Protein backbone atom coordinates (compact mmCIF):
# COMPACT_ATOMS: atom_id res chain seq x y z
CA UNK A 1 0.00 0.00 0.00
CA UNK A 2 1.33 3.40 -0.95
CA UNK A 3 0.46 6.93 0.04
CA UNK A 4 1.28 9.34 -2.78
CA UNK A 5 3.54 12.31 -2.50
CA UNK A 6 2.16 15.43 -0.89
CA UNK A 7 2.51 19.05 -1.87
CA UNK A 8 5.58 19.83 0.20
CA UNK A 9 3.64 20.53 3.38
CA UNK A 10 3.60 18.70 6.69
CA UNK A 11 1.62 18.71 9.93
CA UNK A 12 2.45 21.49 12.40
CA UNK A 13 3.10 19.06 15.26
CA UNK A 14 6.53 18.36 13.81
CA UNK A 15 7.32 21.83 15.20
CA UNK A 16 4.77 22.47 17.94
CA UNK A 17 5.55 19.36 19.99
CA UNK A 18 9.27 20.13 19.81
CA UNK A 19 9.05 23.74 21.02
CA UNK A 20 8.29 23.11 24.73
CA UNK A 21 11.03 20.49 24.83
CA UNK A 22 13.52 23.00 23.44
CA UNK A 23 12.45 25.50 26.08
CA UNK A 24 13.00 23.00 28.87
CA UNK A 25 16.30 21.74 27.50
CA UNK A 26 17.96 25.06 26.65
CA UNK A 27 15.64 27.95 27.39
CA UNK A 28 13.54 30.28 25.28
CA UNK A 29 16.55 32.15 23.87
CA UNK A 30 18.08 28.93 22.55
CA UNK A 31 14.79 27.85 21.09
CA UNK A 32 14.34 31.24 19.42
CA UNK A 33 17.81 30.98 17.89
CA UNK A 34 17.04 27.55 16.45
CA UNK A 35 13.69 28.71 15.09
CA UNK A 36 15.32 31.72 13.46
CA UNK A 37 18.15 29.59 12.08
CA UNK A 38 15.57 27.29 10.47
CA UNK A 39 13.93 30.20 8.68
CA UNK A 40 10.62 29.91 10.53
CA UNK A 41 9.19 33.42 10.61
CA UNK A 42 6.70 32.47 13.29
CA UNK A 43 5.48 29.38 15.08
CA UNK A 44 2.52 27.68 13.39
CA UNK A 45 -0.87 28.18 15.03
CA UNK A 46 -1.78 24.53 14.57
CA UNK A 47 -4.76 25.22 12.33
CA UNK A 48 -3.34 23.73 9.14
CA UNK A 49 -0.45 22.21 7.26
CA UNK A 50 2.83 24.12 6.98
CA UNK A 51 5.73 24.08 4.48
CA UNK A 52 8.03 21.12 5.07
CA UNK A 53 11.32 22.86 4.23
CA UNK A 54 11.67 25.05 7.36
CA UNK A 55 10.44 22.17 9.52
CA UNK A 56 13.20 19.98 8.12
CA UNK A 57 15.72 22.77 8.72
CA UNK A 58 14.62 23.07 12.35
CA UNK A 59 15.30 19.39 12.98
CA UNK A 60 18.58 19.67 11.07
CA UNK A 61 19.69 22.78 12.97
CA UNK A 62 18.92 21.01 16.24
CA UNK A 63 21.01 17.98 15.22
CA UNK A 64 23.88 20.22 14.19
CA UNK A 65 23.72 22.52 17.23
CA UNK A 66 23.21 19.89 19.94
CA UNK A 67 23.87 16.39 18.61
CA UNK A 68 23.92 15.16 22.20
CA UNK A 69 20.30 16.23 22.72
CA UNK A 70 18.76 15.96 19.28
CA UNK A 71 17.86 12.26 19.26
CA UNK A 72 16.18 12.37 22.67
CA UNK A 73 14.28 15.58 21.94
CA UNK A 74 13.13 14.32 18.55
CA UNK A 75 11.95 11.07 20.14
CA UNK A 76 10.04 12.87 22.88
CA UNK A 77 8.46 15.24 20.36
CA UNK A 78 7.35 12.21 18.34
CA UNK A 79 5.75 10.62 21.39
CA UNK A 80 3.96 13.90 22.14
CA UNK A 81 2.76 14.07 18.53
CA UNK A 82 1.37 10.56 18.91
CA UNK A 83 -0.43 11.66 22.07
CA UNK A 84 -1.93 14.59 20.17
CA UNK A 85 -3.15 12.30 17.38
CA UNK A 86 -4.76 9.98 19.91
CA UNK A 87 -6.44 12.87 21.71
CA UNK A 88 -7.65 14.80 18.67
CA UNK A 89 -7.53 12.78 15.46
CA UNK A 90 -8.59 9.18 16.12
CA UNK A 91 -12.17 8.74 17.40
CA UNK A 92 -12.49 7.01 20.77
CA UNK A 93 -14.73 4.34 19.26
CA UNK A 94 -12.08 3.50 16.66
CA UNK A 95 -9.39 3.34 19.35
CA UNK A 96 -11.53 1.00 21.43
CA UNK A 97 -12.08 -1.27 18.44
CA UNK A 98 -8.36 -1.45 17.61
CA UNK A 99 -7.52 -2.30 21.22
CA UNK A 100 -10.15 -5.06 21.32
CA UNK A 101 -9.18 -6.76 18.07
CA UNK A 102 -6.48 -9.45 17.75
CA UNK A 103 -3.05 -7.84 17.41
CA UNK A 104 -2.45 -8.93 13.82
CA UNK A 105 -5.74 -7.43 12.67
CA UNK A 106 -5.41 -4.22 14.68
CA UNK A 107 -1.86 -3.73 13.35
CA UNK A 108 -3.10 -4.16 9.79
CA UNK A 109 -5.98 -1.71 10.24
CA UNK A 110 -3.76 0.85 11.97
CA UNK A 111 -1.11 0.69 9.24
CA UNK A 112 -3.84 1.21 6.64
CA UNK A 113 -5.16 4.23 8.52
CA UNK A 114 -1.67 5.69 8.86
CA UNK A 115 -1.10 5.25 5.12
CA UNK A 116 -4.33 7.09 4.32
CA UNK A 117 -3.18 10.05 6.41
CA UNK A 118 0.54 9.84 5.65
CA UNK A 119 0.62 13.35 4.15
CA UNK A 120 0.54 14.73 7.69
CA UNK A 121 4.03 13.38 8.47
CA UNK A 122 5.47 12.36 5.10
CA UNK A 123 5.19 15.69 3.29
CA UNK A 124 6.47 15.29 -0.25
CA UNK A 125 7.87 11.85 0.59
CA UNK A 126 6.10 8.61 -0.24
CA UNK A 127 4.88 6.32 2.52
CA UNK A 128 4.70 2.62 1.67
CA UNK A 129 3.33 -0.14 3.90
CA UNK A 130 5.57 -3.18 3.44
CA UNK A 131 3.66 -5.19 6.05
CA UNK A 132 1.49 -4.23 9.04
CA UNK A 133 4.63 -3.75 11.16
CA UNK A 134 7.11 -2.53 8.53
CA UNK A 135 6.90 0.66 6.46
CA UNK A 136 9.10 2.79 4.20
CA UNK A 137 9.18 6.55 3.87
CA UNK A 138 10.82 7.23 0.52
CA UNK A 139 12.58 10.56 -0.02
CA UNK A 140 11.87 11.56 3.58
CA UNK A 141 11.80 15.39 3.49
CA UNK A 142 12.81 15.79 7.15
CA UNK A 143 16.28 14.40 6.44
CA UNK A 144 16.65 15.50 2.83
CA UNK A 145 20.23 16.52 2.07
CA UNK A 146 21.60 15.23 5.38
CA UNK A 147 24.43 12.73 5.70
CA UNK A 148 24.79 10.45 8.71
CA UNK A 149 26.32 7.09 9.59
CA UNK A 150 23.26 6.02 11.58
CA UNK A 151 19.46 6.46 11.38
CA UNK A 152 18.31 9.88 12.57
CA UNK A 153 14.50 9.90 12.17
CA UNK A 154 13.76 9.96 15.88
CA UNK A 155 10.61 12.07 15.57
CA UNK A 156 8.99 9.56 13.22
CA UNK A 157 10.04 6.67 15.49
CA UNK A 158 8.37 8.36 18.43
CA UNK A 159 5.12 8.91 16.54
CA UNK A 160 4.88 5.29 15.39
CA UNK A 161 5.88 3.93 18.78
CA UNK A 162 3.18 5.84 20.63
CA UNK A 163 0.41 4.88 18.20
CA UNK A 164 1.25 1.17 18.09
CA UNK A 165 1.86 0.92 21.83
CA UNK A 166 -1.50 2.48 22.61
CA UNK A 167 -3.59 0.80 19.91
CA UNK A 168 -1.94 -2.56 19.13
CA UNK A 169 0.29 -3.74 22.00
CA UNK A 170 2.13 -1.89 24.80
CA UNK A 171 5.45 -3.63 24.14
CA UNK A 172 5.81 -2.43 20.54
CA UNK A 173 8.67 -0.03 19.81
CA UNK A 174 9.71 1.43 16.47
CA UNK A 175 13.26 0.96 15.20
CA UNK A 176 14.68 2.56 12.07
CA UNK A 177 16.53 -0.07 10.06
CA UNK A 178 17.59 2.21 7.17
CA UNK A 179 17.67 5.96 6.71
CA UNK A 180 17.77 8.29 3.71
CA UNK A 181 20.52 10.22 5.49
CA UNK A 182 22.69 7.08 5.20
CA UNK A 183 22.24 7.02 1.43
CA UNK A 184 19.21 4.75 1.22
CA UNK A 185 16.25 5.56 -1.00
CA UNK A 186 13.85 5.14 1.91
CA UNK A 187 13.77 5.32 5.67
CA UNK A 188 12.55 1.93 6.87
CA UNK A 189 10.65 1.69 10.15
CA UNK A 190 10.05 -1.65 11.87
CA UNK A 191 7.89 -2.34 14.89
CA UNK A 192 9.49 -4.75 17.38
CA UNK A 193 8.35 -6.18 20.69
CA UNK A 194 10.46 -4.93 23.59
CA UNK A 195 10.52 -7.83 26.05
CA UNK A 196 11.58 -5.64 28.98
CA UNK A 197 8.69 -3.27 28.38
CA UNK A 198 6.28 -6.18 28.16
CA UNK A 199 7.56 -7.59 31.45
CA UNK A 200 7.00 -4.23 33.14
CA UNK A 201 3.52 -4.03 31.64
CA UNK A 202 2.56 -7.48 32.97
CA UNK A 203 3.95 -6.62 36.42
CA UNK A 204 1.70 -3.56 36.74
CA UNK A 205 -1.62 -4.63 38.33
CA UNK A 206 -3.35 -1.51 37.02
CA UNK A 207 -2.82 -2.35 33.36
CA UNK A 208 -5.22 -4.06 31.02
CA UNK A 209 -5.46 -7.85 30.86
CA UNK A 210 -4.92 -7.58 27.12
CA UNK A 211 -1.13 -7.73 27.56
CA UNK A 212 -0.41 -10.86 25.58
CA UNK A 213 3.16 -10.58 24.32
CA UNK A 214 5.63 -12.27 22.04
CA UNK A 215 9.34 -11.81 21.70
CA UNK A 216 9.25 -10.67 18.06
CA UNK A 217 6.70 -9.10 15.74
CA UNK A 218 4.40 -11.07 13.52
CA UNK A 219 2.62 -9.58 10.53
Range of the domain at 128: 2-203
109-122: per-residue pLDDT in tens?
Answer: 999 999 999 989 99
Question: Which CATH number covers residue 141?
Answer: 3.90.1520.10
Q: Residue 161: inside a domain, yes or no?
A: yes
Q: Residue 217: inside a domain, yes or no?
A: no
Q: Residue 214: inside a domain, yes or no?
A: no
- What total of structural domains would you count in the chain? 1
Q: Residue 180: inside a domain, yes or no?
A: yes
| Residue 124 CB partners (closer than 8 Å, separation 6+) | 5, 6, 7, 8, 52, 139, 141
Q: Residue 67: inside a domain, yes or no?
A: yes
44-86: per-residue pLDDT in tens?
Answer: 999 999 999 999 999 999 999 999 999 999 999 999 999 999 9
| DSSP string for 4-24 | ---SSEE-THHHHTTHHHHHH
C-alpha dihedral sign at 195, 200, 202, 203: positive
Q: Residue 213: inside a domain, yes or no?
A: no
Q: Residue 219: inside a domain, yes or no?
A: no
Give, for all 219 residues of the chain, the pLDDT tens digit: 555 455 799 999 999 999 999 999 999 999 999 999 999 989 999 999 999 999 999 999 999 999 999 999 999 999 999 999 999 999 999 999 999 999 999 999 999 999 999 989 999 999 999 999 999 999 999 999 999 999 999 999 999 999 999 999 999 999 999 999 999 999 999 999 986 654 443 443 333 333 333 333 444
Q: Please provide the distance, in angstroms rounded to a whole number, between the alpha carbons at the two ends of the chain.
A: 14
Q: Residue 174: inside a domain, yes or no?
A: yes
Backbone angles phi, psi at 21, to 5 degrees: -70, -40
**Residue 19 C-alpha from the chain's centroid:** 16
| Under 8 Å between Cβ of 37 and 60 | no
Amino acid sequence: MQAGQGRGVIGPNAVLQLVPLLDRAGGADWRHRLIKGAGLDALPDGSGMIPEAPVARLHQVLRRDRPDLAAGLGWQAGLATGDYILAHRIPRAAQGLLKALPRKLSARLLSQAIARNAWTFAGSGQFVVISPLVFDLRANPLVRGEVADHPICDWHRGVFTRLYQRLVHPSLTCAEARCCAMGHTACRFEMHHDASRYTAFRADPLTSKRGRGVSRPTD
